[in-house]
Amino acid sequence: MSRLIVWRHGNTDWNANHRVQGQTDVPLNALGRQQAVDAAELLIKLKPDAIVSSDLHRASDTAAALAALSGLSISYDKRLRERYFGAWQGLTMTEVAELYPDQHTRWTSGREVGGDVESLTDLGKRVSEALHAAAGLAPPGGTVVVTTHGAAARQGIGHLLGWPLEQLRTLRALQNCHWVELSHSRERAWQVAAYNVGPFTDRPVPPPV
């Protein structure tokens, strides 16, 4: 049985201020860097065979903490980038609600936002393709760690598992530096083995944007 770990990046100042990041390349803050180190100390126990990351710095710098412990090099895949939020990027969610009330209503109800915001369908497809490619880097029975983003992780996993959008909305957002463990076997294909795992259980959950 092979294992795929889908790991959300550490905290950023924009996470802390509930500001929409999307594909803006926001760096980790001091808390995020420490979260990456703490999480890596847990993930190294899973004996990863490969590490793949989004090329955005908040993800790649998170992956670097595990690479430093494992001695593995990091492969980068742009398909693992966060959802593109268009004109929302850089705004707080309060500002989004004021400036784009119709889009914000659709977002909060789980519908497609429209405008220049990437569709959930497109997001899920591109991230799941990257997850498939990453899984192929490990030997049979091996483990791959993929570092990505909140919305990207949820939609990519959902597309991989064939879940409808309504079912995905029942999942709580991943906390910073938490991960999802997926297992794969010939008999059962992909399954969720664990969700929202990590060293921090009492912190508020920033929006996965």
Query: Within 13 Å and on the Cβ side, how many CA atoms surround 125?
Result: 5
126 marked as binding residue: no
Residue 136 CB neighbours (<10 A): 10
According to DSSP, the β-strands at 50-53 and 2-8 are unpaired
121 marked as binding residue: no
Task: Tell me 44's DSSP state.
Answer: G
Q: Which residues are catalytic?
A: 9, 82
58 marked as binding residue: yes
Query: Cα-flanking dihedrals φ and ψ of residue 92, to 5°?
Result: -75, 160
CA 190 vs CA 37, 108, 163, 187: distances in Å: 28, 28, 12, 9
14 marked as binding residue: yes
178 marked as binding residue: no
pLDDT tens by residue, the chain, 209 residues: 899 999 999 999 999 999 999 999 999 999 999 999 999 999 999 999 999 999 999 999 999 999 999 999 999 999 999 999 999 999 999 999 999 999 999 999 989 999 999 999 999 999 999 999 999 999 999 999 999 999 999 999 999 999 998 898 898 899 999 999 999 998 889 999 999 999 865 444 455 56
71 marked as binding residue: no
Q: What is the pTM of this model?
A: 0.94
Contact (Cβ atoms closer than 8 angstroms) between residue 148 and residue 54:
yes
Joined tokens for residue 32: 């995020």
Query: Within 13 Å and on the Cβ side, how many CA atoms surround 123?
Result: 25
As beta bridge partners, residue 75 has 52
Candidates 197, 125, 112; CA nearest to 157 is 125
